[in-house]
Structure formats: structure tokens, C-alpha cells
Amino acid sequence: MDSRLREVDAPAEPADGAAALATAKAEVEVTKPRNDRRGYRRVVLPNALECLLISDPDTDKAAASMNVSVGYFCDPDGMEGLAHFLEHMLFYASEKYPIEDSYSKYIAEHGGSTNAFTTSEHTNFYFDVNNDSLDDALDRFAQFFIKPLMSPDATLREIKAVDSENQKNILSDPWRMSQLQKHLCSNNHPYHKFSTGNWDTLEVKPKEKGLDTRAELINFYDSHYSANLMQLAVYGKESLDNIQTLVESKFCDIKNVGRKHFSFPGHPCSSKDLQILVKAVPIKQGHTLRILWPITPNVRHYKEGPCRYVSHLIGHEGEGSLFYILKKLGWAMSLEAGEGDWSYDFSFFSVVIQLTDVGHEHMEDVVGLLFRYITLLQTSGTPKWIFDELLAICEMGFHYRDKSPPSNYVVNISSNMQIFPPEDWLIASSVPSKFSPDAIQKVLNELTTENVRIFWESKLFEGHTDLTEPWYGTSYCVEAVPPSIMQKWVENAPNEDLHLPKPNIFIPTDLSLKNVEEKTSFPCMLRKTLFSRLWYKPDTMFFTPKVFIKMDFHCPLSNSSPESSVHTDIFTRLLMDYLNDYAYDAEVAGLYYAVRPNDTGFQVTMVGYNDKMRTLLDTVIGKIADFEVKIDRFSVIKETITKGYENFKFQQPYQQAMYNCTLILEEQTWPWDEELAALSNLEARNLEDFLPRMLAKTFIECYFAGNIEPSEAESVVQHIEGILFNSSTSVCKSLPPSQHLTKRIVKLERGLRYYYPAMCLNQQDENSSLLHYIQIHQDDLKQNVLLQLLAVVAKQPAFHQLRSVEQLGYIALLRQRNDSGVRGLQFIIQSTVKDPSNLDARVEAFLKMFEVTLHEMPDAEFKSNVNALIDMKREKYKNIREESAFFWGEISQGTLKFDRKETEIAALEELKKEELIEFFDNHVKVGAPEKKILSIQIYGGLHSSEYEKIIHDAPPPHSHRITDIFSFRRSRPLYGSFKGGAGQMKL
């Protein structure tokens, strides 16, 4: 696969501040997609702050993003993580808005969200909010960059949050391996640094040196946060003139201290960091090979796009490609290629290969084949037809780009503003428009054996390493691999037929829009038979040549036991595996497809350009109809799934809590260890026996939406039925109505608190976690809106109290939960500070505090929250995926309330504050008469003694400890299902 990072992740050579001001009044025409009706205007304020204003009369949300051209590369020596820590601190308070958390509270109360991130050379802050609140939101946001307050108390508390964030990453292989790559670079280059920071770097070490962290923080802010180093993107419903007036008034007071743009010339790798083989021990099972080369950054030639061309070929998965050969040999599970970490001054090209156990034994051959393929590319010229194909695909992708959420949009643009000239802020490097064989050849010529770094990760290296990376504790060793050795690997590699890809048959040629007479707002049932049901929704909003298809294959046998579940999983993965050689081109050309197992069988999804949809769908259905088990691929897929199960214990503790909650609540789910045991005994012949039995009872629920006519949708489904059910060789038979599957949820008992304590599966993980679930009701109009409103009102206070004030952990949140229409609230906290039982007590303490807040809430604040929720419900879908996700949810759950949002808005408009208080008092508050609680408690390594105590202590009054999940599940009543038999729904 061609794997490129988004442009958002990299800075470039900035323009001179004076030059930028000189062009402030010059009209710049920003290149935009041909179907984009939004207005754009570039403005430079007197303080040299560069802005892009975006006016979208159709938007339901406003948004803004401020990109600051300062990142962790600027961290002072000995204070690693200071830039990241400053990003955290700016959210607390400002001189104009001194009440702690008032910014985040305002955003949450007005239907929005906010966040930030820090990279090597920039820090990006962003938010979205309901349209009519943009003025006040921008005013609060601007204070981040004008006069923030960084109180000593808040500073100390937030260091704990940064430390908790780092604790979350300590046992994460992506973080560990990224830092190892940085560690094995020149320590004179900032790339070598540790970016996140922790308690040691931000509190202990500074104190030892007599430094005051808060003073250093303020000094860093005053020195580095200068208006001429900032880029602002603002997105709103108002006219460009009005947005400009708003921006000029809010952001003109940001100081311009004349700080020059930071530059970090030179490459992180010196000659001693090349021609090395690094063997590293990961946390998870598996073998990964990362081959990296320092190269000329693509951004210097972004119009030519040489890296896009090269990564397209090295990452290709079709016949003759490197991955095709490695897969055929049984050596690789996946391959990704593309430009990785980069800036204007340096860049890495990487090829990342997930190896099988056999592939691990043939590492040298794998590297040899890679270099043989690179040699083929270096010597075969640069065919223009490949560039032309890429250009056609990229241009379509740009001009028919789906609308994204405004917050995502402004983040990408503000990040691009640091890198590209104004006319290219939208298009960036997404469309390489100039064919330059020389630029492509230059990149290829840098991918040499003299220039390479190889990182090889496997648990098999445990006990065979002699070095430790200091920040994450990764064990590794380093060996020299001179070009002469690698040349032997090339010579000894198998002589396989590597060749360039064939022309892509999936590139759309017909991008016309269908003329559908029936302009319906909701899906309608077009067709129903004993074999299938077809729902249809034409595109009445987006006017793009795209289609969305979901097909649920309901097969009762598919998930009837752990063995059946594993069989179904292997079947879908093999199906995708068989399709890959042919259908990889479809994904490259913008037609995404997937076959995945689900609760009631398996699901086929297809979304993208409609032109070649029929070709791809026919192929997928044909593979299902003529499925055969290939023993060699079965072995590889079985190995992949086995490693996935073995790595389950390395999931974050909060993920383990979520898993256990689902296992307790959902009637027919199987534990991972039983599925692993079933998998270990599975042979190819077992799948051959199972598949016809599974498909012998099948019903297909179909949803077709977008640029497709109803007659075409009917024709496609009829054709599918003909292949799967009505031919002489069909294995599929219809599913009787009595056997249609329902997904049912455990009903907890009111007035009782159930708790399930368990040790974290990875005892090396010091983090503990709590999931405190309050089950409330099954899908009901009035109670739905009361629950949603309560979540809106309580979300930010919960985050502020549990995360910011008490500093229980980096992950501390309140959110709604919906299990097949059974709804409730859940608190999720991950912590090293307190054990899960104590975290449970802190949730109860918060609810007592919040009870007072809710009862004393002013009427105006209540109304503001109601209006925020109404505005969120009125938000229009941005693309066919979003719209289809909602309608498909109604179909798959059997509720069929396609007008759900409209009826909920009507209910909200009538809602009274007293009703919300009564709902809280009855269902949520401590001691509420209708309250039903399930507390999932995962005890990390730091809290093992507390675990021993809780399992030996008698349960407190009105509490019940779950000791056996499945005995408990069998003993409880279940909520009724909305889903009936074929064509019969309970509404």
C-alpha cells in the first residue's frame, strides 16, 4: 500500500515576514475544487498574522484553527516536552477569561469541541462550534495567543496530565519504535529529542537544576509565540467581509515580537547512522521490517510529486508487485511505502512490511527482493502513462473531494499555510501536475544500499539485545550491514517475476450525475423477496458521482459459537485476500470496498465512484459464490488472527474495560480466549465444511444510496440473487423468518450496583481503568433527548473535575452509550493515581457535585444547552458516508426511525428544565430509585494488592460482584429486540 502522511504533519521553509506583509493587499486566487461553492480570502493583519477566511453559507458549524510554527524541536535542552506542555496549558484560563476551563465549557455548551496537537515544528489549536457562537468562541480562543494565565497550581496539575499521557504511550509499539528511530540519529539534531515530556523532564529534572518550570513555560511562550509565526484559518456561515471584521478585531492584539522563523538545517542522520540493521524487541507479537532512507524532501518538488510516483509503485499490491511476490511466497501480511517524517530540510522514505513467521526466517531475501524491485524501477525509466494515471486519480480526488467536518478542514488548511504558497493552500501536494522524470529518478537514486537503515522488530530477539532506548525502555541491538552484504542478499533472493503494474481498469470515465425523478429525503424499500430486502436512497444533497452500498449477509450459523465466529472471520479475511490482487486498483482509483464479519454474519461495504462499481461488486459476489480454501493463504491468515488474539492482552486497560462491558451486556458474544482456543485447532478442511453450512441459510439486507438509479439498484440485487441463490451450483438458501437473528442486551436490575473486577491482562502495564456504566432505557423519544441533553450538560464538568482538577488520568471522559438501542451513560477513566474502586468513588463524588450544579442551573444556561443540542441535530450531512451511516444504523437496528432527528428536535423545543432534573434524579444521581449500575474495574500492575482485597472483601450493601460473566449473562432478563423476521419490524 502507498502510505503517505497528511500534509498537516510537516512544516516547510517559511516566507519572509516582510514579504508576506508586502503581499497582504494583493489578491491571491486560491485554487479550489471545481464543485466547491465556498468563498476564500487571504488576509494578513498588521501584526503579520496570516489568515485564510472561508465563507460557507451552507455550513451548520463554524470552526477555527491556529497553527503556530513552533514545535518540540524548539524544546530547551533538559526540558523535553515543554512545547507540548505549553499546548496543554493554554486551555486553562486567560486574563480576559480568568475562570478556569471557561473556554472549553463555552465550546461544549454551544455544540462544539476543541483540541490541539504538537509536532516537531508546529503546534495546532482548533475548535468547532455552532454558527451563532463563533464571535464569542473566537474571542475566547484568541486569548490563548494574547494573554493566557498559567497559574502555579494549574501548572503543577497539568504536568501530571502530560505524565499520564506519556504513561498511556509507554507500552505502545508505534511510540516506542518511533522514538528508537529518533534515538539512533545524531544527538545534535532536534529530531533526536523526546517530544511528549513527563514528570521527570518537566518537574524533577528542572528542580534539580534550580529551574522553575512555570517561569520556563512563560519565557518559552513570550519568546516563541509571535504573530508572524502563526497561521489562522476561520470557517463560518457569514460573508467574507463579516468574518474578516471578526478576525481583525479578535486577533489584532497578538504580539509580533519579530521572532525569525525557526530553521533546523541538515539531516538527522549522519554517516554512522546509515548502513545499520537494528533488531528491536516490541511489546506485541509479530515481525515488522522497516526499511528507511534519508531523501530529498518531496515538498521541494510538490508540483512534480516524485515521492507519490515512487510510493505508488513500491507500495503497489497488484500482479508483479513486490507485495504480490512476497504474499505468493507466504512471507508478508502487508506492505506500506511512502514518505514518513519530513520537513523542508529533511525527509525519510520508508517501506514497512509485516512479516509472517516464515517471512521472518527469510528477512534477507525480503530485503533482497525489495532492492531488486527498486533496481527495476531505477533502470526501467519513468513511464509517463503511470504518471498520467496518478494525475487523473489525484485530480478526481481533489475536484470530487467529499466535504469534511469544518474543524478537520481548517486544521489541514492552517497546517498547509505554514508550508505552501497561498494559491496552493487547499490543493497542497495532493495533485502532482508536472511530469518530471529527473525528479522521480533523483528519489529512486537515493534508495540505495549505501543510504539505508533497517529496523527489524520481533519478540524472538528477546534476550539477544544489549542496548536500551532511554525514554521507553525498548531493548535493541545494532549491527553494521555494508552494501557488500546487502548485495549478496539481492543476489541470493529468489528469482521472481517482478514487473510494473498494468493499466488501472477502475479509473472512472463516466462522472455524470444520474437524473433521479423521486427526490426523497428518506430511504424507501424498493424490493423484498425471500432472499433479500433492498433499501434505496438517491443523492439529493451532495451531487457527486459516488455511491454507497451496504449488504448484510445474515447467517445464523456465523456466530453461533466461538468456533463459528472464528470460521466467519477467516472466511472474510481470505475473501479480501483473494480479491486484493485484482481489486487493489479499485481502491487506488477511489472505489473502496471491504468484507468484514459482524454480529449476524458478514457485511460487504462499497463506497466511491459509481462508474466501475458494478464491475467490482460482481467480482466480490463471484468470489463468494465460487469460494475455495487455499491452504497456503489459510495458514497465513490463521497466523495473522492468532497474533491478533495473542496481542489482546496488550490493549490499553480502558480498552479491556470496554471489551468486558460489551461481553457482559451483549447476549451472544464470545470471549477472546475461547476464540483463540478454537482457532488453534482449526484446519483448512474445517472451513471447507463450515462454509456451505453457514451459507445454507442466508438473508441479505441491502442499502444502495447515492448516484444510482432505482432500476439499476434493483437490477444489481436481482443479479446477486441469481448468482447466489438461483443458479444450479448455488450454495445459498433462503433463511426462514423464524430464524432471523436478533441482537439482545442484558437488562440490569434497578437499585443494584454490579461490579466486575479483573486484573489487567498485561501485568507490566501500571495503568488501571474504570468503566462506570449507568443503564437507563431502551430507545424512547422523550428519554433519548433527556439523556442526550444530560450528556451535553455534564460532559465538560466531568472532564474538568476528573481530569483537570483531580488529575486522575489523561483519559477521563463521560459519554453516551448505545447498545442496539439500549442507552445509558458511561464514565471512562484510566489512571496510575488511584485504583478502580477509588475511581468509582470519585465518579460518585462528581455526581453529587453535579447534582447541585444541575439543580441551580440558570434558565438561560439550560436554554443555551437545549439550543446547542438542537443545532447539533440540525447539522447537515457532509457526504454520502455520513448520511448513509445514519440511515443504515436505523435499518440494521430495526428501528427505522428515519425522521429521528426531526422528531427529537420537536421534543427538545418543548422540554422543560424540571424534566431534565427529574430524569437525573430518577436515573442518574447517587441513590436514584431507578438507577442501574455496572462498574468494570481493570487493575493495573500498581494496584494488584487492591485487586486482591476487593475480590476477598464482601460486596458492599446493594452491590453484587460478578464472578462469572456467562453465568451472570444467562441469569439476567434481556431487552426485547426491534428487529423481527423478513420484512417485519417492531416500530
For residue 321, give the nearest of 582, 576, 632, 506 by alpha carbon: 582
Pairing of the two strands 601-609 and 546-554: antiparallel
Query: Phi-psi region for residue 78, left (φ > 0), alpha (ψ -120 to 50) or beta?
Result: left
| Under 8 Å between Cβ of 522 and 887 | yes
Cell numbers representing residue 512 in the block: 455524470
Say how far apart CA 939 and CA 761 lie, in whole Å: 9
Q: Which residues neighbour 77 within 8 Å (Cβ) at sequence distance 6 or greater?
A: none
Cell numbers representing residue 287 in the block: 515481525
Q: Annotated catalytic residue: which of 7, 87, 389, 721?
A: 87
Cell numbers representing residue 478 in the block: 545494532
Name the DSSP letter for residue 974: B
Task: For residue 543, count CB atoms less than 10 angstroms from its CB and return exposed for 0-12, middle for 13-18, buried for 19 or more.
Answer: exposed
Quick one: the chain helix, strand, coil %, rounded to 5?
45, 20, 35
The string of DSSP letters for 663-729 reads HHHBTT---HHHHHHHHHT--HHHHHHHHHHHHTSBEEEEEEEES--HHHHHHHHHHHHHHHTSSTT
In one-letter notation, the amino acid at residue 695 is: L
Owner of C-alpha cell 533526536: 192
- Beta bridge partners, 64, equal 127, 234
**Interior CA angle at 601 toward 596 and 604, to 5°?**
40
| Under 8 Å between Cβ of 642 and 679 | yes
For residue 549, give the nearest of 609, 599, 619, 589 by alpha carbon: 609
Burial 741-770 (b: 16+ CB within 10 A, else e): bbbbbbbbeeeebbbbbbbbbbeebbbbbb
Do you know the residue count of the chain? Answer: 987
Owner of C-alpha cell 428544565: 913
Where does 856-943 have alpha helices with state H?
859-874, 880-893, 900-909, 913-923
The verdict on whether 29 is a catalytic residue reads: no
3-state secondary structure of 543: coil
For residue 750, give the nearest of 962, 930, 923, 959 by alpha carbon: 930
Q: Annotated catalytic residue: which of 7, 50, 158, 203?
A: 158
| Under 8 Å between Cβ of 406 and 347 | no
H/E element, 456: strand 453-458
H/E element, 595: strand 591-598
The verdict on whether 87 is a catalytic residue reads: yes
Q: What does residue 933 show for φ and ψ, rounded to 5 degrees?
A: -120, 140
3-state secondary structure of 438: helix
Alpha carbon of 112 to those of 305, 814, 874: distances in Å? 37, 15, 13
Pairing of the two strands 699-706 and 591-598: unpaired
| Under 8 Å between Cβ of 790 and 916 | yes
Name the DSSP letter for residue 2: B
For residue 755, give the nearest of 941, 566, 933, 909 by alpha carbon: 933
Report the chain's terminal Cα–Cα distance, integer Å: 44
The string of DSSP letters for 528-577 reads E-SSEEEEEEE-SS---SEEEEEEEEE-GGGGSSHHHHHHHHHHHHHHHH
| Counts of helices then strands in the chain (DSSP H, E) | 33, 27
Q: What is the dihedral angle through the alpha carbons of 470, 474, 476, 481, rounded to the nearest 10 degrees?
A: -90
Known catalytic residues are: 87, 158
